[in-house]
């Protein structure tokens, strides 16, 4: 599987993301935000965590207008896979590839800790390595993870089984404790927790491994 990891000024989880993807067997290329196209035959684009463009204006807003993001949107529209983690999730909502928006945490504090999550659906290449209802522990590190979405769209997403992960208990004010959501075609996932920071015993947990293993495995077969 060929993966590209997008690097913006201020990205800080790009190398962790590449390490996690390579450990799962992906062939990874880093791409710079000014690049106008993705490498040939890329299956997956990963948008990493960090503080792209210093979070100026709104988290992810400037990154979403960068040349590489136009290529990422075109890739997603062709049915390509896209994974956005933390700031990457914010970028995906700003591009419109995922519905809703991520606002300042309800308690206004930056939250940096390992949290309990529930896998809500195993029906995606990202979550097929888990069981629906399975409990996970993954790190979060964000100031703006308070997911909000129009109630009608939320109802539709819930009806379509597009909530990927929820916080096991309220964390940051997110509607319905949502931690990650899927696109309509289930090939774009945005999530605030960091699976790439839980792929090695040295991280203190390996609950993120199954996401990368299954994603790389499934997309190779596709």
Partner 1 sequence: MKARVYVMLKTGVLDPQGEAVRHALGNLGFDGVQGVRQGKVIELDLADGTSEEVIVQMCDKLLANTVIESYRIEVL
Binding stretches for partner 1 (CB under 8 A)? 57-58, 61-62, 65, 93-94, 99-101, 103-108, 146, 148-150, 173
Closer CB to partner 1, residue 96 or residue 159? 96
Minimum distance from CB of 131 to partner 1 (Å)?
32
- State which residue, 26 or 149, has the beta carbon closest to partner 1: 149
- β-bridge pairing 178-182 and 188-191: antiparallel
The reply to whether 203 belongs to the active site is no
**Whether 86 is catalytic:** yes
Cβ(59)–Cβ(33) below 8 Å: no
* SS3 at position 85: strand
User: In angstroms, what is the minimal distance from the CB of 83 to partner 1?
Assistant: 21
Distance from C-alpha of 211 to C-alpha of 201, rounded to nearest angstrom: 16
Residues in the chain: 222
From the CB of 211, what's the least distance to partner 1, in Å? 26
Instruction: Identify the active-site residue in 75, 94, 142, 196.
Output: 196
Q: Cβ(129)–Cβ(210) under 8 Å?
A: yes
By beta-carbon proximity to partner 1, the closer residue of 101 and 111 is 101
φ, ψ of residue 210 in degrees (nearest 5):
-65, -30
- Select which of 86, 94, 120, 214 is catalytic: 86
75 is a catalytic site residue: no
Which CB, 87 or 146, lies closer to partner 1?
146
Cα→Cα distances 86→12, 44, 48, 111, 139, Å: 11, 17, 7, 12, 11
Q: What pairs with residue 165 in β-bridges?
A: 119, 180
Distance, CA of 98 to CA of 107 (rounded, Å)? 24
- Which residues are catalytic, by number? 86, 194, 196
């Amino acid at each position: 599987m060929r993966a590209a990891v997008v690097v913006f000024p201020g990205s800080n989880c790009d190398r962790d993301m590449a390490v996690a993807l390579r450990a799962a067997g992906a062939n990874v290329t880093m791409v710079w935000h000014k690049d106008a196209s993705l490498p040939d035959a890329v299956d997956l684009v990963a948008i990493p965590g960090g503080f792209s463009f210093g979070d100026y204006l709104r988290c992810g807003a400037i990154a979403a207008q960068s040349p590489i993001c136009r290529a990422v949107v075109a890739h997603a529209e062709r049915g390509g896979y896209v994974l956005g983690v933390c700031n990457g999730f914010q970028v995906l909502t700003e591009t419109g590839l995922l519905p809703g928006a991520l606002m300042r945490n309800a308690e206004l504090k930056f939250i940096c800790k390992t949290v309990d999550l529930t896998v809500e659906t195993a029906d995606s290449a990202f979550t097929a390595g888990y069981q629906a209802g399975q409990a996970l522990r993954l790190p979060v590190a964000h100031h703006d993870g308070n997911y909000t979405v129009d109630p009608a769209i939320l109802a539709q997403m819930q009806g379509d089984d597009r909530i990927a992960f929820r916080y096991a208990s309220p964390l940051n004010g997110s509607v319905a404790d949502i931690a990650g959501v899927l696109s309509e075609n289930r090939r774009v996932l945005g999530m605030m927790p960091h699976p790439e920071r839980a792929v090695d015993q040295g991280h203190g947990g390996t609950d993120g491994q199954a996401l990368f293993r299954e994603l790389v495995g499934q997309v190779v077969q596709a």
